[in-house]
């Protein structure tokens, strides 16, 4: 039994990897499976929220009762999020968004050259979706923004710094970079009063704990 701690709330999430095209059949992506984001979407729905999931390419089924919007590139993810952010109470950025996109992608499939010449790719930085959303937070405090950080070292130090840099009230750190594709995870929550470890568990268990931690913080804030 899950208490409906997010009844009446609208939650928007990003999940999965992005895919940055090089040509019509090739691209650059990463090893994010989408499991953590999809678990959080499911847990938010179980908690009574109206949930919209903006998803990069994954092989996962859509959680029951969740509205899913499929995108491929970081630019498409950014656009879909900005199109749907109005009226949302909570934004959770779980997607492993590519930091760069290819600016000289080819319209046609690139041909292997007989002389062994290789393509020269050029890049430009993608928009930071989480930071863009955080910048829209109104005086009323909505949307309450939650970010993720996958650090391979010094998580406690970097997590606190990243939370400040992104301008968000809550940042979730993954311990180690071995979480991609795994069913289990260990997470650390960073907020203005410090950090809390949620010990290793399967991603759905952690997602449910995270949803109750978010609900608790929203509740505390509205009592202030
Ligand atoms: O800066 P870094 O990529 O480590 O931050 C990770 C957090 O920021 C995640 O919540 C991720 O979803 C979000 N992010 C984003 N757009 C980007 C890069 C990261 O929303 N372009």
Q: With a 6 A CB cut-off, is 145 part of the ligand 1 pocket?
A: no
Measured in angstroms, how far is the CA atom of residue 36 from the centroid of ligand 1? Answer: 14
> Which of the pair, 98 or 139, is modelled with greater confidence?
98
Taking the CA of residue 147 as reference, the ligand 1 atom at the shortest distance is: 10
Q: Report the C-alpha gap between 134 and 72 in whole angstroms.
A: 22
Is residue 174 flagged as an active site residue?
A: no
Residue 153 predicted with pLDDT over 80: no
Q: What is the CATH number of domain 10-109+121-223?
A: 3.40.50.10300
Taking the CA of residue 99 as reference, the ligand 1 atom at the shortest distance is: 21
Residue 14 predicted with pLDDT over 90: yes
Tell me whether residue 111 is annotated as binding: no
- Confidence check on the interface: ipTM exceeds 0.95, yes or no: yes
Taking the CA of residue 171 as reference, the ligand 1 atom at the shortest distance is: 10
pTM across the whole model: 0.95
Measured in angstroms, how far is the CA atom of residue 162 from the centroid of ligand 1? Answer: 10
| Overall average pLDDT of the 68-77 stretch | 98
Q: With a 6 A CB cut-off, is 128 part of the ligand 1 pocket?
A: yes
Q: What's the chain's average pLDDT?
A: 94
CA within 13 Å, CB half, 112: 2
Per-residue pLDDT, 22:
98
Backbone angles phi, psi at 131, to 5 degrees: -65, -35
């Amino acid at each position: 039994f899950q208490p409906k701690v997010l009844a009446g709330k609208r939650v928007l999430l990003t999940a999965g990897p992005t895919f940055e095209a090089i040509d019509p059949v090739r691209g650059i992506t990463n090893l994010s499976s989408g499991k953590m984001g999809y678990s959080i979407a499911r847990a938010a729905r179980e908690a009574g929220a109206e949930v919209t999931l903006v998803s990069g390419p994954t092989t996962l089924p859509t959680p029951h009762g969740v509205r899913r919007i499929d995108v491929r590139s970081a630019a498409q993810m950014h656009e879909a999020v900005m199109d749907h952010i109005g009226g949302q109470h909570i934004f959770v950025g779980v997607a492993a968004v590519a930091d760069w996109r290819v600016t000289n992608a080819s319209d046609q499939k690139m041909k292997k050259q007989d002389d062994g010449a290789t393509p020269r790719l050029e890049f430009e930085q993608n928009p930071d979706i989480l930071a863009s959303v955080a910048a829209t937070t109104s005086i009323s405090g909505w949307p309450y923004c939650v970010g993720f950080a996958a650090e391979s070292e010094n998580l406690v130090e970097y997590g606190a710094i990243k939370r400040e840099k992104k301008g968000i009230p809550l940042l979730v750190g993954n311990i180690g970079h071995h979480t991609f594709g795994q069913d289990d995870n260990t997470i650390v929550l960073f907020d203005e009063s410090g950090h809390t470890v949620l010990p290793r568990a399967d991603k759905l268990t952690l997602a449910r704990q995270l949803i109750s931690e978010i609900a608790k913080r929203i509740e505390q804030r509205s009592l202030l």
